[in-house]
Structures are given as C-alpha cells and as structure tokens.
Structure 1
Amino acid sequence: MPNQKLSVVVTRRLPEHVETRMKELFDVTLRPDDTPMTREELVDAVKTADVLVPTLTDKIDAGLLGQAGDKLKLIANYGAGVDHIDVQTARQRGILVSNTPGAAAEDTADMTMALILAVTRRIPEGLAVMQGGEWQGWSPTALMGGRISGRRVGILGMGRIGQAVARRARAFGMQVHYHNRKKVHESIANELEATYWDSLDQMIARMDVVSINCPHTPSTYHLMNARRLKLMKPDAVIVNTSRGEVIDENALTRMLRAGELAGAGLDVFEHGTQINPRLRELNNVVLLPHMGSATREGRLEMGEKVLLNIKTFADGHRPPDQVVPGML
C-alpha cells in the first residue's frame, strides 16, 4: 500500500515515544487508557484493522480470528511470547504474526538474578523487619541466608534469556547447567562453561537453583509438575521469569508449605492475577507483578521492533521477526 497508510489498532497503552512514532507512520488507533480490551473491542479491531498490535493480555484465539475481516494481514505482537496468539489459525487465514525477540532478554535476566538473590538472602524478610520498625540491631544469627557462589544453577530453556542468565550466574560464581531442546553451539557452551543435560529429571535432582526460562507451549505446560518438583532437593530454590503455566502452581505451593523446597521467586503465575492465596502467605516466597521486562530501555526497544515489523510489511516485505508455527 505505497500511497495509503496502514490502519493499525494498538490494544494497550505503549511508551509515549512508540505511540508518537506510530502516529507519524500509520493510520493508528491508540488505546486511551491502560486497560485490556474487552472481547467485543478486540472483535471490532480485527474486523477493521490492517494490523493489530496486541500484548500478552489479549487472547487472540481461533474464535476471534474467525471474526477477522479480510483487511487484517498482520498481528505485530508487542512482546516476545506468543502463547496468547493462535499462530496456526492465523497462518491458515493468511495473517502474518510477528513478535519482539531479544528486546527484554537482558532485563529479564537481571530480574532472574534479583529473584535468586532475594530468595536465598531473604531480602523481603529483611525489608519487612525494617518497614515494621522491628529491627533491634545486628545479630550473628538473624536472617541468615545462603551463599550463591559455588551453587549449581539449572537453566530450563537456553535461548537468549537463558544464556543471559547463565552469563550473570557465572559472574556470581555459580556453576551453570542447562536443559534445552537441543545443545547450544559449542562456542556458547564453552564461553558459559555450561553443562548440558539431555534428561530434565536428572538435572533438576542435582541443582541448588532451577531457573525457568523457556516459553509456554503445549509441550512446556506443567513441565515442572508435581513429580518433577519432588525430584528437587529440599534445600533448592526455583525461580520463574518466563510463563506461569510452566509450573504446577498448586503442587509448588503444597511443597513450599510442607518445607519440601527451600523457596521460590516468581514473576509470573499460572492463572494470571489469580494467585494462590496460600502462596502469598509464605515468607520463603518472593512474588513480583510480572516486572521482568519492565525497563524504559526494554519497552522502547520492543516498540522499535514492532514499528520495524509493521514498516517492513507495509513496504511489501516479510517482517524480520515473523513467527511461524514450526518455531513454537
């Protein structure tokens, strides 16, 4: 469409710079407030737009795509994860899907290390003491945590984020292990001094820290189920900055309450904002509101990738970050 601006609908508020640039480039409809679209609003959007820019809070399923008009040709997701989009159905309907891989890798890896430290060093408990005005001074036995140097971290999913976590873990003196669909390139494994485990069961049984960094797909749903969680050492910690559905949250809660795991750091949850209330009560659990990618730099970079994907598509080319079912 060389002489006509693409019609673009954005489902959530984005950083101001990104929204302004979209206004300059496209015929864009921006979200007036920072709330998820209702189902009815999403239906209207897919009926009228050339391009939809959703986020992980929008469920783009087969039912919604079935109501899309002939105009809709690109779903340019704002975010790397696309488990909320039925990519297969989109492809069948001739609708391309793109995402923003790598934009939040460093930020999410930072948050992973922050959670590892927060759980093992009991930082929230210390904060609670200070904020409650209960601190009586230094004590040799108060709030003793554990040293992470020398501990083994098992990374589940060795993509961009997993590798970024591994680099940080090495800097903290941790021994890096990983499980992935396939081995990373030998040069990367050598750089990270990373040990590959073909068997996830065997790896997690030997780790001091397990870090979840794989995407949510049908094959990773409840990958850390009750059986696998029970394989972990009682003094081990689990951290998840990926997707909540990878862990059986109820099984994890039961084990933490029973003292069968030392702790957990969770930035994502199996049922979105509906968090198991028993999980909130535990002082060996650190809960964050999906903050892994929440940096100004990361969110701007995500926006730039969305803009590039749409602009490339508008120019008649394949979006650089196109997602196809075989990648999932």
Structure 2
Amino acid sequence: MAKKKIMVPFPVFKEGLTELFERYDVYYPSEVVPREEILKILPEYDALISCGFKPDKEAIERMDNIKIMSTYGVGYDNVDLETMNDKGILVCNLPDIVTESTAEFGMALMLSVMRRVAETDRKLRLDQDLPWGPIANVGRGLNGKRLGIVGMGNIGRALARRTKGFMMDVTYHNRNRLSEEVENEYNATYVPTLEQLLKESDIVMINTPLTTSTYHMFDTPQFEMMKESAFLINIGRGPVVNEQALINALQNGVIAGAGLDVFENEPNIPDAFKTMDNVVLGAHMATATIETRTEMVRLAAKNIIDYLEDGKHPNLVNPEALQNVRPLNSEVSIR
C-alpha cells in the first residue's frame, strides 16, 4: 500500500517532523513556496499542517483527499470551519504548548514599553542626542500596578502567575468567572464588566481569541474609558483592536502607550505605529522560541499521526465535521 501523503507547506523546525518522515510521504519545502504552487498539488495529499498557509475557502476546495488538518498554533480564526465541516475535514489545534512562551512575551512587551527599553535602545544605536541623568528616560514601574487581563484562559493564568514576582495586582474579565479556588491560586480578582476593568487598570492585556463578538472589542469608547497613564498590550488577535482608533488614542494622549504583537492586516503594520516612541512592536512572535516552535511542529505532526493511525483526535475544534468524516483509507479522484 502506498504511503499516505502529508503536506507541510512552509519551512518549520524539521526536528519536530522526524516521526512524520518515518511514516509517510511528506512534502516539505526548504524555502517559501508560492501559494499557487501549493494549491496545484494540494489535491494529492491526505493531511495538512497549516503553517504559513491560509486554509480559506479557495484552499479547502482543493482539499480533495485531505482527512485532517492540524493548525500551527492554538488559534483557528483564519480557518473556514463551515466549509471544512461540509467537506468532512477534521481540524485540530495546539491548545497548550503556546501558553508559557506567549505569557513570557506579554510580560516582555509590558516591560519594554513601560520602562522604555526598546525606545532607548533604538535611539542609542542611532547615536541620537539622548539625554542621560536622574530625570531622563523615566518610565513607569510595574510594582504595585494593576494588570487587567481580558481573557483568563491558560495564557491569562500564566500571566497572572508571572506578575507575583513583580508585586502587581491582577484583575480579569472573562466570559465565565473562574472558581474561587482558581482565583485564589492566581491571586486574581474577577471584574464583571469590561468597562470596570478598563477604568481601574494600569495595564490592559488582551488574550482573547477573535470571534464575531470580539471583533473591534477595543474601539474609541473603550480607550476613552482607560486611564491616561494606562498601557494596552495585545498578544491575542489583531482585529480585536480597531487600529485606527488606537492610533488616535495614542496620538492624542488618551492612553500612555501600547505593546503590540498582532495586527489587523498582518504582515502590514500602519506607519503611524512605527513613528511612535510609546509603542513597541512584535512580529506575531509570542510563541517564537526554539523550544516552543519545535514542540509546536512535533505536536502538529502528532495530531496527524494520532488520527491517521488510530482515528484519535483529542484536539479537535470542529466536531461537526464528524458527521461527514472521510474514510481514512479511501481516496478520491485527483483533478
């Protein structure tokens, strides 16, 4: 019997694919391949890891033989799940591996913008006339500040855990309140409304996924609720924030600064952000450690192997597709 064919459309840490290579016929490019070329050969493949490749309706229509797709991260807002369900293609994600590195990066953005690390580093390297002295380059300390976490899932909890060392006060707003036991564990106080959290927080950290209800969750009215001395950190999804409204708030002193790892139209970043000293920018890199990215590849491969070998799908995000699921050992005609 011919080996099943697995599509890995974008270069990743190859060490994580060892078991996949041992079992299957794996397409793995050594450099970035144009999307059009991937689409041409996609009908030949049984499974897909969607790193660097948007599985939109156009792509899904080419998935003639795909039984399962694993995302390359926890989020799947860029996946056309409705079409996946209709086609009977299972979608699995990586729900836990990104937690610690993303929380680390949230803290890094917060420290960098509040303590003006990126700003002073940039100016010193450019030999600008940067003043030194007891009242120069002063920022805001974290000690005693209130961090308001929007989205208290695994990443939110990991952030709360890290704030203990900085002697910060933590509040959170979530779709569902956590148990008293969990709140005590993380020393976090529930705030019933987003409005209250925004008014009371010194730093607002966004961790929420992108849904129809969270799109532009942060807009002009929300920024106007925040303190003038407050900072916004976004490690969730770009479209949760109305970027133009944020730009206006920063330019007009409505809030003090921002740390952004995600954007509305990635990889495009508004020029206005690039000119602001009180904004620190990341390249959607919160998970970008060698350790995490290698493990992400391995776990994405494991999602594929578990299903193709044993029919298991513990990280399934679209159970509706099970109604139309494609038989594991069947093949459809290739175009």
Shorter-chain TM range is over 0.9
The equivalent residue for 1:166 is: 160
- Do the aligned partners of 1:216 and 1:243 also contact (CA within 8 Å) in 2? yes
Task: Give the AA of the match of 2:169.
Answer: Q
User: Do the aligned partners of residues 45 and 212 (structure 1) sit closer, same or farther apart at CA in structure 2, a change above 3 Å counting?
Assistant: farther
Letter in 1 for 2:251: R
User: Counterpart in 1 of 2:46?
Assistant: 50
Which residue of structure 2 aligns with residue 8 of structure 1?
6
1:64 lines up with 2:64 in the alignment? no
1:41-89 deviation per Cα after TM superposition (whole angstroms, max 9, x unaligned): 343344111101112x4221233323321x2110111211111111222
Greater shift in the superposed pair: 264-273 or 223-232: 223-232
Check if 1:285 corresponds to 2:288: no
Unaligned residue ranges in structure 1 (runs of 5+): none
CA contact (8 A) 1:268 1:288 kept: yes
Partner of 1:315: 309
Report Cα offsets for 1:267-306 as digits up to 9, x if no partner: 1111102111111111000111122101011011111211
* Separation in structure 1 between the aligned mates of residue 132 and residue 272 of structure 2, nearest angstrom: 31
Q: Retained in 2: the 8 A contact 1:65–1:90? A: yes
Query: Does the 8 Å CA contact 1:293/1:299 hold for their aligned counterparts?
Result: yes
Counterpart of 1:93 in structure 2 is 87
Q: Sort the Cα spacing of 1:202 and 1:126 in 2 relative to 1 into closer, same or farther, 3 A.
A: same
Structure 1 residue identity aligned to 2:7: V
| Map of 1:178 onto structure 2 | 172
Structure 2: distance between partners of 1:109 and 1:129: 27
* Unaligned 5+ runs, structure 2: 321-335
Percent identity of the aligned residues? 37
One of 289, 292, 295 as aligned partner of 2:289: 295
Deviation of 1:95 after TM superposition, in Å, equals 0.5
| CA-to-aligned-CA distance 1:296-324 (integer Å, 9 cap, x gap) | 11011111211211111012322221112
Cα drift, residue 34 of structure 1:
3.3
Question: What is the identity, as a one-letter code, of the residue corresponding to 2:22?
Answer: E
Greater relative contact order (CA < 8 Å, ≥ 6 in sequence): 2
Contact 2:123 2:130 in 1 (8 A): no
1:184-223 correspondence to structure 2 within 5 Å: 184-223=178-217
- Determine the structure 1 residue equivalent to 2:37: 41
- Output the CA distance in 1 between the equivalents of 2:30 and 2:132: 50
**Aligned twin of 1:22:** 20
Classify 1:146/1:224 alpha carbon distance in 2 versus 1 (closer, same or farther; 3 Å).
same
Asked if structure 2 preserves the Cα contact closer than 8 Å seen for 1:9 and 1:45, the reply is no
SS at 2:310 equivalent: coil
**Partner-residue secondary structure (3-state), 2:20:** helix
- State the match for 2:261 in structure 1: 267
- CA spacing shift, 1:15–1:120, aligned 2, 3 Å: same
Q: Which amino acid aligns with 2:56?
A: D
After superposition, where does 1:86-165 map in structure 2 within 5 Å? 86-134=80-128, 138-165=132-159
Distance in 2 between the 1:262 and 1:226 partners? 15
Normalised by the length of structure 1, the TM-score is 0.92
Deviation at 1:137, TM superposition (A): 7.7
Runs of 4 or more above 4 Å deviation: 134-138
TM-score (norm 2): 0.90
Per the TM alignment, residue 136 of structure 1 is displaced from its structure 2 partner at its CA by: 7.4
Residues 1:244 and 1:137: Cα distance change in structure 2 (over 3 Å): closer
How far apart are 1:149 and its partner, in Å? Answer: 1.0
Q: CA RMSD in A?
A: 1.8
Deviations 1:16-44 (A, max 9, x none): 20234321121111123135x41x33433
The one-letter amino acid paired with 1:65 is I
Cα–Cα, structure 1 residues 106 and 11, in superposed 2: closer, same or farther, change >3 Å? same
Equivalent residue in structure 2 for 1:305, among 299, 303, 312: 299
Distance in 1 between the 2:27 and 2:145 partners?
50
1:41–1:141 distance in 2 versus 1, CA, 3 Å: same
**Alpha-carbon deviations, 1:133-165, whole Å to 9, x = none?**
357784110111111111111111111111111
Residue aligning to 2:326: none
Paired residues, number: 320
Q: In structure 1, how many angstroms separate the alpha carbons of the residues matched to 2:9 and 2:59? A: 14
The answer on whether the counterparts of 2:131 and 2:137 sit within 8 Å (CA) in structure 1 is no
